[in-house]
Amino acid sequence: MADNLPDKNREALRPYIADMAAVEKHILEALERQHKDDNIRQFPTAHQLIDRLQGVLRQHISTLEGHLEAFPGGTTAHTVKEAVTGVLGAIAGIYDKVRKDTASRALRDDYTALSLATISYTMLHTTALGLRQGATAELAVRHLKDLTPVLVELSQIVPQIVLRELSFEGYDIEMGLAQNAVRNTQEAWTSEHTQAGGSRSAGTPVGAVTGSAGSYTQG
């Protein structure tokens, strides 16, 4: 029984890897639509961020699918197809293919979708550690570290875009207030003590990964 444990663990982990690939594929599809949207194109900073993020997600998906090929239980395409049905509802609730949003709302949706991806990677990393699958645990935390800085960047550029859109609507807007908004909202993430009672060092950016990822053990 013990001799079969590593193979059993790998088989149990396979659908979690497929779920992760499906999550990022759906986010990528939305980003590809946004990249062509004129509302996004009028904000070079946002457009460039989406362009870079597409590259990150494409690399992630390729790595996940290649990683999945080494696991028992069917082809990569079949596994991911099954996983899509499980994540489609969550992603569809964030993105609406028909609705044409402002740039700020599109970026808000991206932030929400990436938050889903980061917690999904946290779960994949933890599951892989528990099942003693070191390579998958390391992959998950490496991909997580790719995404967390993007959440920070999104939170920093959205205020400027919100104010710019208000100015487009004819409101008399002082654009310098965007920096005030960034500073005030970042402080909510960097306070020494959160409302939940946890502690974090002042100055730690939102979404930052701190500390060691822990040791990986391969069963």
Listed range (79-83, 88-92, 125-129, 149-153) with the worst mean pLDDT: 79-83
Stated pTM of the model? 0.81
Please write the tens of the pLDDT for every residue from 58-117: 999 999 999 998 887 654 445 444 544 455 566 666 787 656 789 999 999 999 999 999
- What domains lie within the chain, and their CATH numbers? 2-150 (1.20.1260.10)
pLDDT mean over 5-14: 83
Rounded to a whole number of angstroms, the distance between the first and last alpha carbons of the chain is 14
DSSP assignment of 87-152: HHHHHHTT--SS----HHHHHHHHHHHHHHHHHHHHHHHHHHHHTT-HHHHHHHHHHHHHHHHHHH
